[in-house]
Structures are given as C-alpha cells and as structure tokens.
Structure 1
Amino acid sequence: MKYFIPAWHKQYDDWSINVPSIENYDAAEYMTVLKKFDEEIGLIITDYQPQLLSKLNQIAFFPNNLFSVYDFLQGVHGFENKVLELEDFNWPKNAIFDYGPFRTLIVLENKLYATVFYDIDGHILRISYPENDEHKAFTLGIDSRGFISNQDDEEKTIYFDPYGNWRFKKDKTTDKITVNPEMHFCKRREYENITDLVDEILSRYLKVNAKNNDEIIVTVDDESSFNNEIIEPYKPLYIINRHHPYSKKIGSLAKAKVIVSSNEIKQNLEKNYREQFDISVIPVFNSEFRLGHSQRQNVQEIGFFAENANDENIHQIIQKLCNYILKNPDNYSLKIFTYNFWKADHVNKILEQIKEENKNSFILGKSEQAENAPIDGLDDEVSLPELDVAHTRLTNISDVLSNLDKMRLLINWGKADELMQISGVSIGIPQVQNFSSVTVVDNKNGRIIKKISELLPVVDEYLTNLNSWNQTVVYNVQLMNQYSEENIIEKWKEVFKERKAE
C-alpha cells in the first residue's frame, strides 16, 4: 500500500462567494497515476474536511483505503449518506422562508431567525443563527454526508457524531480540547491542542495498518496538522508542492528522500540544503499528445498567459501584440488567459486602459462587442480597424485544453506554470517565454527571450514560417515521452525500488 498524507486544508465556500477556479488538490495527480497502474493507494486526511466525499467525487478519484482522522474522532463509521434538506430541520411553526439564489433566510416574527448557506452543488453547507434573547450567535456546519458536523461560536467549536452526540470541544481562547467523558475513542479527556489529539490518532492508525513493505508519502507543509515525529519512524517519502508553503518545515526534516515536480525546485533545495536530501523529479501533470487544430483556422490565434506577469509587463505585451495584429487584423487575434479572479480583474482594467489610449487607432474587441461611436474630429463614415482581442479566466483543466486547442502560439511571462506549460506541449504549439523551464527548449519547441522588445520578431517567425512551427510539433512529440503516464509511473517504480534496496 502507498499511503499518501496530503495537505488538504481548504474547505468549501458558500455558493454566493465561491469563485470558480482551478483547484489544486495536493498529490491527487500522483495518486491517480499510481492507482491507474495497479498500485494500491491509501489516503490519510488529517484536517477537518466535512465535504471530503464531495471533493473526491470532484476529482473523480477514490483510494483503495481511506482514513480521515476527524471521521474517527467524530465516530463516522458506516454512516448511510443522505442529502439534508430544509425540511429535515425542526423549524418554528410560524417561520417564513425567503428563498434566494444563494441562500435561504428564515424569518420569525419579522426578525431574522437563521440563514442557510449552500455549496456550489446546492447542498446545505452551514446554517447561521444570529444572537437573540435566548442564545449567542452560532453556526452549524453540515457534513456533505448528511448530518450536523459541528457547532461554532466565538468561544468554542463542538464536534458531533452523525447521531447528534457531542464528541469533543475546542476552546478558541486556550486551544484546549475537551473530550466527552462518556466516549472512549482516545486515551485522555483533555489535550493541550488539536495537534496532540491528531498525533495520537494518526500514530495509532499507522501502528496498526502500516506494514514493512508499505510507503508513507507525505507533503511537506508548514501548516501541517500533525507533528512530523509521528511519521519519522516509517522513513516516509516527502513531496514538495509549490502551492503549499514548506520553507519552515523542510529545514527541520532529517535526511530524507524528497519528490519534487520540477528541476527548479530541485535546484533551490540543493542550493539551500546541499546534501541533506536525496531528490527525484517526477512531473505532476502527465501528458497525452492531442495535436491542436490551429492549422484549420482562418485566423491565427496568439495566446498570452498573463497570470504570472506584473501589470507593467502585461500592458506592454498586449500593446505590442495589438500593434502587430493591427497590420493584418483579419488574419490575427489575441486571447489573454488568467486563473485568479483578482488577476483577471487587473487584466480587464489594463484592457480598458489600452482601449482608451488607442481610441483613435483601433477598436478593441470583435465587431459585436466594439464600441462604434463616432470619433471626435472624424467623419462618421470613417471606421477604425477592429482587433479581435479577448480575455478568458480559466477555471478548470478542460478550459485550459479547449482554449489552447486553436492557438497557434503561446506566450508565457514571469515564471513557469506546470499545467499551462505541459498543456502547450500536449497541444503541440510553440511557447515563447522569458524564463527557462524543462518543457520549453530554446529553438526547439519555443524561444527563451530576455526582453519584451525581443517578442514581436519571434512571434512573427512562428506565425509566418511554417518550418519553424512544424519543428515545434516534431520536438513536442518527442518530449511527450518524458511526461507520459508510463514514464511517470516508471519514475515512481524506480524510487520504490531504490527504497527497498536500502
């Protein structure tokens, strides 16, 4: 069994404030590939995750063995799942229900009695009760399997089993944990903090279940909910995930085997810790060669991934590309990509700024979006060229692949994004960027440039010289072997083989 202990901290937001985005579930890609090639996978979750099953459904993955520390603490064993509806709660007889698109307000005698919040799937996420004459304000958290999981107020959090019995409490002032004296699932009645309790349960689980030939694979995580001393006797493999801070925890580890997803991370570790770690590079995202369809398009689309670029560079790059497209607006278009909601807002503001700065030179947007108001000082019959420039915020992996499918060229700026880079290689398109990465080799499947002033000649080369573009396709096909599922699993097998030989 390969037991993974990932850094799954984030919980679902309610639908009204949830911003769709690409979710990075730590270690999910590794687990998926290993299980696909018949490795037995155990998943150990040490954080409070009342929507755990919903998350597993979201990533379409279920391990051979699943252990949640909080499920054990809350006595969730063999509970028959159900979806809680409003009718399942005991509301006051004269309550009025005000149904909204994101939440339901329950009103009693012209006063707010409770607010029901929903997750993105429309399931009840939590119910908040405001302060009144009978009680202080509190919130009930709902487990996606259909029971009240906890009650939270400004002083404490109480955790329940599926049948409404309280199991343990956390004092928010002191962090102390108090266990229900009638329950016998742990050794003590009180703990200094939740980490002590999690340590005890995790240690007991590993002692009973982890066998000599099993592997414990742990994400190095500064926000870890357990102490590393619990897993050190099992000589774990460690994973570095760039999305989770690890600088504090990594230095405290004994000499160990570490898996990283890129040479960049490996080089940083070797620089800072010299020979403390034995490091292997295993890509996170596997590739399936799916040649794009840009050659079938009448308009050549230029893609610009702006997520990791600063505002000044974004402005300069878009302006230069607009100037390039202006020479032949019927043949070229530009699509800008971001992930983050706030980054997307910045890009939209930059586009508005460019539109204003160039209002007498061109119109930004397709004809149906263009603002065709007359320009001061110009005859009404004079029309400005319309540039096909659009911005798209990518919210899932399918978005990435479908948007890149018709791209002729991808520009990356700032630093590497593993998903975007491997997707570009999979589609077969050249990538132009101002940084080095293992997926783009200069003059093979793209260009590494230093300055924005170098950008347009390279763009023109790939859009007008078919030989350069075809060379990229050929090299990307060769590169695919390094990022195929088969190659990734071979890298894992090599690591496991070395471990057994130690």
Structure 2
Amino acid sequence: MEQEPVSVILEKVRDMIFAVPQWQINDHDLPNDDFVHLIQLTRGTKLAVTLLMVDEAPGLRYQLNHNQLLGTAWASLFDVIQAIPVRVGVPLSPADVKIPVGSELIYGNGQALIVRGDQQLGTITYHPEGFVWQVIWTLANGERRVDQYDDRGFLSTRTLYAPDNRIKQKEWLDITGQAVMRQTDQITITAGARSRFSQSAYATINDVIGEFLHKQLVAKTGPQQLIMAADRAFSPLVANIPPEVDVHCFVHKLTEANIAPFANTTQSWITDTDTQAEALRKRLRMLPEVKSTAVRVIPPYNTTLSLGRSNELAAVISYWHVNQLPKDDRQIVFNQFLKQLQVDPDKQLIVNADNQKQIDDFQQTALNFAAESQAVSLDSAVFQRIQALLRGDEPPLATPSATQAEITDADEQQAVAPVTEKRQAPGEKALIEQIRLFLTRITYQAQADYEQIVQNLSLARILVDLGSAPDLFMQLAAISAGIPQINRVPTGYVTRETGRIISDWRGLDSALTYYLDSLAHWNQALVANVQLIDRYSENHSLALWQEVLTDGGH
C-alpha cells in the first residue's frame, strides 16, 4: 500500500472549494446526484472542487470510478479520525479473509459462506465490483457482527447487532485493526488514540465529525467555499463551520427542518427549478434569522445541440413518462393515447413505465381497447382465443353454436373440420392481425436508462410527463432534441413557445393534437428549443457557478 502521513492527507487538496456529498456507503450508481454533476462540470477549470467526505466512505474509490469521477480530489474526515494513512490499495478477495480454524469457504452467487461441518459461521458479501464488502458473522443468542471492509484492503469497522437489529456496539479501527473509537451508549476514544481528540468521550458520532470538520476548515488559510445539501442530516454539523467560510446549499426538500438550521450560515441557495426557487424565497422571508435570501437556479443537467429526426420519420411518436401517476390517472391518460392511435394509423407511443406491473396493466388495457374497437366482446370465446394467440398460449377450443347440429361421431368431426376452418379462419385471422398491428404501435419500457431515453427522444415528436415532479433529465434532453413537452406542473424549463402546462387530463388531447397534427406548431417549438439550448448549456451553468462562488449569487 502507498503510505502517506496522516497530517498531510487533508493538506494536499488542490483548492479551497469543498463539496460535501450525501453519498451512502452502499450507493453505487449516482445518476441524479447534484455533486456528481458539479464535479463533472467544474473538472479541469479553476472552479474544480474537492470532495470532503464527512461520512464513512469505505467504497469511495470505486464509487468515483463507477460514476466517471476518477481523478477527483478528495479528503475524508474518517481517514483522519481513524488514522488511515493510505490513499490507494487493493481490495480483498474472499481468500484474504481470516476465518476460524477448521472452517472453509463455500462459494455461491454473490456471496461466500463460511462453514464448519454443518454449521454456518458467517457470510462474505461482495461489493458490486466483486471484492469483499462485508463479513456477517452469526453469533450466539441471535446476535450478529458485521465487519465492514474498505476498498483499499483493510477492515474499517465492526458492528455488533442485537437480535432485534439494534446496534449494541460499534468500533472504528485504524489501519492495523486496533480500535480508535467504540460506541455503546456514547462514543469512547481508546487510550492509544486519545491524543488526537479534544475529549475522551462524545455523546454522538456527529460530535466527533463536527470536531474534525472544524479542524479541517480552520487549518486552511485564505477564502474557503463549502457546498453542501440543506438537509436535516447535516444540521448537527452547522455549528462547527467557522463564520468566515462561505456556505452554499443545494435545496430539494422545502421543509423547515431542512432549511432553518442553515438559514443564518448559508451565503447562497441552489435549486434546480424556477418553481422551487420562488417557493424557497417565500420560506426564507418567513424565517427570523437569514444570512442571505440569494437563490440561484442551476440546471442539474446540461443541454447539447442534439436535434432529433422525428420530423423525418413517417411515424409520429409520442413519448410518455408515467412518472408515478396514480392508477386511475394513468389509465385516463393511457386511454387518451389509445384514442389518438385509433384515429391516426401513423401515430405510435413509447411508454416509460415505473415497473413491470404497470406494463402488464397497460398491455391488457390496450388489448381490451383494440378488441372492443373491432366489436369483439371481452367475455366472448373469440376474445379468449385472440388473447391466447397474442400471448403465445394455446387458444381455447371454439364452443359450438346453438344453431349448429351437434357432431358426435369422430368421422363426422373429421369430415366437417376442414370446412369449418375454411369458413371461420379468414375472418378471425384478419381480425387478429388488425388487433396485433394496433398493439405493435405501442412500445413499453420500465424505468428506461439515460441512453434509452436520449435515443427514444431523438425519434419522438413530443414528451409527455404529467407527474407531480417532472423528470428534469428528460426535460433537458427534450430541449436538446428540440421537441415540445406537455406537463401538469411547471418547472421553468417549458415555456409557452416550447410546450403546454395543462391543468387537468381534459387538456391532454388538445395539446397532443396541437403539436402532432400540425408540423407548423411543432416547428415553432423546435426554433424556441434551439434558443434554450444555449441557456442551459454547460458553459452557462459554469458561469452561474462562477457567480455563486464569487459573490454568493447576488
């Protein structure tokens, strides 16, 4: 392992702009994280930030790598607290874990069991990248101990759980495996580490973190900027931030518990929508002590000139992001789309559902709609056969007609079967084909990833998101693609020229018709979107951050 004195770990950061993320130790993918976007945006510029990890981060190196943040400057308070002198290392494999004498490893899917005879002693779990993450030991009386390993190849913490899952004791270890702190009813500092702490015992772990956060910030000379989230989880640390440090807070939850503790410390507030910014300003004006009411809207994603080619396609495709709509509401919306498809054979629909269960419901609704449109009763034998055939199942046998003579003799059945098939098959086959073709005009996805979304929006003529909190990545991707949007809740990213904000479901059909049935209206939205691309570009966001970090956003 590469050794480095603890005293210089935090001194080697490259600049005075610190970002304090809220990443949890089990977070692997961070697709919607403000701090990931901030790091990517400022990387290589004079605004480049240093990550200041105030929580435990045993998987930080792989977290950074997985989210394309490798090379980002970082500092960890727990590295200093636990006297960890290494920046890099090699994670452990199951064979590296010390197991009791006479026991062996049995490798399984995503884990390895530690067994002795017919007794299971513990379980080794893997990090998503494949190395040892935790070892869970089964103890007497229903207790268990969880050993947490760091991705640099050492044991970081030991936590003892009671049968009711309550933490009985937790130990934070140094690089040699010796305890530095021990938590029971309080945090106790061990004798060997006592000289590095101001107290021998602390009420909570936040008191320890606060002490070392203060040490970090007062140790640096010159102006410092601290970017964090206005969240109640961080509120115990606010008192430890020196007054000369400029604090800037991301805001997502407009509750007093999240805002009030930061009000007399925060120099500027960062939101991602105009609507939220206005609501935040109103709340700040109601608080008794506020250092600043400067609120800056900075988009969480950036636009690029990536105009789609939907106007080159014969198909007119709508992209619908279901976005947690209640069941009754999404059925109303889906039925309006189905009626649009029924009227115009060129129209198609892509549904981005929240889960597979929604897709199953939509598929059944679409089948019912298509069948009834062809005058097929849903309780008829014909519908049962159609449904079975479209699902790939064996269709049920047709029930003889009441006016048809009963055929009981095997020879009679064989004689009339070809005639019956010839008489019934052409009409029913044509009916099934019509229904099948209608259903193929609808594509379903469950929680599409970013690449799928961008690809689909390049083909779509319009984005529809009627959720209570429109997806901002999709909104900005739609601007990049140059297509109009229909929302129910305004965010500021959709203007009168680029889309529609509808107050209820009755406005959806007319809004769809306005953009899908007239290329002139669609072209007007395209021109307006192209003008917005510069407004939400990477360069513009960087300029906004420059203003925030220069004058607090005033």
Q: Give the TM-score taking structure 1 as reference length.
A: 0.87
| Partner Cα separation in structure 1 for residue 542 and residue 372 of structure 2 | 54
Q: Aligned letter for 2:171?
A: I
Could you say which structure has the larger radius of gyration? 2
Is residue 2:248 matched to residue 1:238?
A: yes
Long gaps (5+) in structure 1: 14-19
1:281 Cα deviation from its structure 2 partner: 1.8
1:128 Cα deviation from its structure 2 partner: 0.9
CA change 1:449–1:80 in 2 (3 A) is: closer
Is residue 2:480 matched to residue 1:430?
A: no
The SS at the match of 2:355 is helix
Q: Which residue of 1 aligns with 2:533?
A: 480
Cα contact 1:26–1:241 (8 A) shared by 2: no
| Matching residue within 301, 315, 322 for 2:317 | 301
Q: Name the count of aligned residue pairs.
A: 482
Q: Aligned letter for 1:99?
A: Y
| Partner Cα separation in structure 2 for residue 372 and residue 247 of structure 1 | 60
1:144 Cα deviation from its structure 2 partner: 1.7
Alignment of 1:136-155 (within 5 A): 136-154=143-161, 155=168
Q: Aligned letter for 2:41?
A: V
| Partner Cα separation in structure 1 for residue 499 and residue 369 of structure 2 | 30
Q: Which residue of 2 aligns with 1:17?
A: none
| Partner Cα separation in structure 2 for residue 370 and residue 237 of structure 1 | 61
CA change 1:436–1:25 in 2 (3 A) is: closer
| Matching residue within 198, 205, 208 for 1:187 | 198
Is residue 2:79 matched to residue 1:71?
A: yes
Q: Percent identity, aligned pairs only? A: 20
Q: Aligned letter for 2:121?
A: Y
Long gaps (5+) in structure 2: 1-14, 162-167, 374-382, 400-423
1:38 Cα deviation from its structure 2 partner: 3.1
CA change 1:441–1:375 in 2 (3 A) is: farther
CA change 1:375–1:202 in 2 (3 A) is: farther
Cα contact 2:322–2:465 (8 A) shared by 1: yes
Is residue 2:264 matched to residue 1:248?
A: no
| Matching residue within 119, 127, 133 for 1:125 | 133
Cα contact 1:94–1:108 (8 A) shared by 2: yes
| Matching residue within 380, 385, 392 for 2:435 | 385
RMSD: 3.0
Q: Which residue of 1 aligns with 2:307?
A: 291
1:138 Cα deviation from its structure 2 partner: 0.9
CA change 1:213–1:96 in 2 (3 A) is: closer
CA offset digits 1:226-276 (Å, max 9, x no partner): 42111251342322242x675313123217422222211211112222284
| Partner Cα separation in structure 1 for residue 548 and residue 398 of structure 2 | 69
| Partner Cα separation in structure 1 for residue 453 and residue 107 of structure 2 | 35
CA offset digits 1:191-223 (Å, max 9, x no partner): 1111111111010010112x3333222221111
CA change 1:136–1:313 in 2 (3 A) is: closer
CA change 1:118–1:332 in 2 (3 A) is: farther
Q: Aligned letter for 1:6?
A: V
Cα contact 2:224–2:246 (8 A) shared by 1: no
Structure number with higher helix proportion: 2
| Partner Cα separation in structure 1 for residue 39 and residue 87 of structure 2 | 26
| Matching residue within 153, 176, 180 for 1:167 | 180
**Which moved further from structure 2: 200-209 or 147-156?**
147-156
1:102 Cα deviation from its structure 2 partner: 2.1
CA change 1:57–1:80 in 2 (3 A) is: closer
| Partner Cα separation in structure 1 for residue 390 and residue 309 of structure 2 | 25
Alignment of 1:61-460 (within 5 A): 61-62=69-70, 65-92=73-100, 94-132=102-140, 136-154=143-161, 155-171=168-184, 174=185, 176-183=186-193, 184-209=195-220, 211-224=221-234, 226-242=236-252, 247-252=256-261, 253-254=263-264, 256-274=267-285, 276=290, 277-329=293-345, 331-338=346-353, 343-345=354-356, 347-348=358-359, 350-351=361-362, 354-355=365-366, 357-358=368-369, 360-361=371-372, 373=395, 380-381=428-429, 382-383=431-432, 384-386=434-436, 387-388=439-440, 389-394=442-447, 396-414=449-467, 415-442=469-496, 444-460=497-513
CA offset digits 1:144-185 (Å, max 9, x no partner): 2221111111211111123212211222xx2x1111211233
| Partner Cα separation in structure 1 for residue 448 and residue 207 of structure 2 | 37
The SS at the match of 2:461 is strand
CA offset digits 1:333-363 (Å, max 9, x no partner): 222224xxxx425523532552574373379
Q: Give the TM-score taking structure 2 as reference length.
A: 0.79
CA change 1:263–1:288 in 2 (3 A) is: same
Q: Aligned letter for 2:47?
A: E
Is residue 2:54 matched to residue 1:4?
A: no
Cα contact 1:446–1:472 (8 A) shared by 2: yes
Cα contact 1:195–1:227 (8 A) shared by 2: yes
The SS at the match of 1:234 is coil
| Partner Cα separation in structure 2 for residue 479 and residue 193 of structure 1 | 48
| Partner Cα separation in structure 1 for residue 278 and residue 134 of structure 2 | 44
**Which moved further from structure 2: 150-159 or 452-461?**
452-461
